[in-house]
Amino acid sequence: MSSAFSLTTPGQQADIAVGAADHAGALLTIDLGAVVDNWLTLKGMAADGADCAAVLKANAYGLGAVPVAQALAAAGCRNFFVAHVDEGIALRRHLPAAANLFVLHGAPPGAEEACAANGLIPILNSLPQLRAWVALCGRWSRRLPAGVQVDSGMARAGMDAAELAELDAVPELLAAFDLRLIMSHLACADEPESPMNREQLQAFSTIRARFPQVPASFANSSGVFLGKEWHFDLLRPGVALYGGNPTPGKPNPMRPVVRLRAKIMQMRAVPAGASVGYGRGHITSAPSRIATAGVGYADGFFRCLGGTARAYWADTPLPIVGRVSMDMITVDVTAVPEDLLYPGALIDLIGTHRTVDDLATEAGTISYEILTSLGNRYHRTYINGTGRVASVSSSL
Ligand SMILES: *Cc1c(COP(=O)(O)O)cnc(C)c1O
């Protein structure tokens, strides 16, 4: 056990290098070739003249912002979005100099200089944010680049009508910086029937018409599928790049990106009536074989999945029985011949039979939350789509 850990100097945070898949309780495989294919698919759908960006916030939805950004940059992606300034600072040096790295939240008060000094392009979401950016432009005597987000009906981030009117009244403000992008965000893009999509489109088009020279961006993953009217100049997909279904209720047009396999730690045979796990969460109805595997809610395998989700061994579904523990699950593997499952064998938790969206449905959530919760104890392997290992790392 201790050989898996290398401690740094006392007082520093422990640096845990999980160098080998042998050491890990579960293995996460991330297919960068599929990420690139998904980006090319979305780019291929774009309206004439429109480009496709990539949203890399939250560590590229848990999959690793640096390897994902590098794969997409190599494929020709030139526009990237993160949420926070620090995400941008960490990522900037891994991107080509010509790539734009936008910060969706803009700079919080006091972070403007760090944002500019690191070559980040803030999205200004409010008049105070915009005034602070203009003030920095004044101090540095430079028209620094920034985008502006307008609220087209979601009441979350972006300038509202009153702020836009104020902006109109003070034209020097817009003249003081280099306005690179005007954007807004859709509230109901994953519900194509919702009238909200067209209402927001009209609201955004009206505002956008005031800045005809400035590139505009509106569509997230699901927004791409609403139609070309929603595309403007720059698509802004996130989850679809990572294999989440941008068209809920319809077949997923994206390639799967994530495979998660849990390693069996221990096998046991139990009689009918045996209780499994915390709180006697499961009582066997027949003699059963139970496998204990090394993944739990601390790894983002949600506790609510106990008794609901299924694992797979090849094509055989295996019920996850009893409660999900912090570091373990118990799986009824009675359906698999005894000699095929043993300590060290792997069962699929996310894979061909169980997509990220399936698991999300079983957990009562969305693929976004499954992906961004993927734990940092997994042994991670990045493959380039041909099955070749591009790099192996643990994020710990
Ligand atoms: C997260 C986010 C996106 C990407 O959304 P997906 O639904 O993952 O494609 C786009 N724009 C904004 C403003 C976001 O916050």
pLDDT at 388: 54
CB 329 less than 6 A from any atom of ligand 1: no
Ligand 1 atom with the smallest distance to the CA of 123 is 13
Each residue's pLDDT tens digit, 260-284: 999 999 999 999 999 999 999 999 9
The architecture that CATH gives domain 33-242 is Alpha-Beta Barrel (3.20)
Nearest CA to ligand 1 atom 3: 220
Q: Are strands 316-321 and 288-293 parallel, antiparallel or unpaired?
A: unpaired
- 263 is an active site residue: no
Q: Which string of b and e fits 283-317 if b means at least 16 CB within 10 Å?
A: ebeeebbbbbbbbbbebbbbeebbeebbbbbeeee
77-89 residue pLDDT tens = 999 999 999 999 9
Is 156 labelled as part of a ligand binding site?
yes
Contact 40, 74 (CB under 8 A): no
pTM: 0.92
Q: Are 371 and 239 in contact (CB under 8 A)?
A: yes
pLDDT per position as a tens digit, 308-330: 999 999 999 999 999 999 999 99
- Name the CATH architecture for the domain at 258-377: Beta Barrel (2.40)
pLDDT tens for 199-243 read: 999 999 999 999 999 999 999 999 999 999 999 999 999 999 999
What residues contact residue 45 under an 8 Å CB cut-off, 6+ apart?
224, 225
User: Quick check: CB of 185 below 6 Å from ligand 1?
Assistant: yes
Residue with tokens 């898996």: 4
Q: pLDDT at position 395, please?
A: 44
278 is known as an active-site residue: yes
Task: Tell me the per-residue pLDDT of 139-188, one tens digit each, with 9 for 90 and over.
Answer: 999 999 999 999 999 999 999 999 999 998 999 999 999 999 999 999 99
Euclidean distance between CA atoms 53 and 100, whole angstroms: 9
- Inter-CA distances, 341 with 80, 251, 289, 291, 332, Å: 43, 32, 10, 8, 11
Work out whether the CA dihedral 318, 321, 324, 328 comes out positive or negative.
Answer: negative
Does the C-beta of 223 come closer than 6 Å to ligand 1?
no
CB-ligand 1 contact for 238 (6 Å cutoff): yes
| Structural domain spans, the chain | 33-242, 258-377
Ligand 1 midpoint to CA 304 (Å) = 26
Which three-class secondary structure state does DSSP give residue 199?
A: helix
- Average pLDDT value over all residues in the chain: 92
β-sheet bridge partners, residue 329: 293
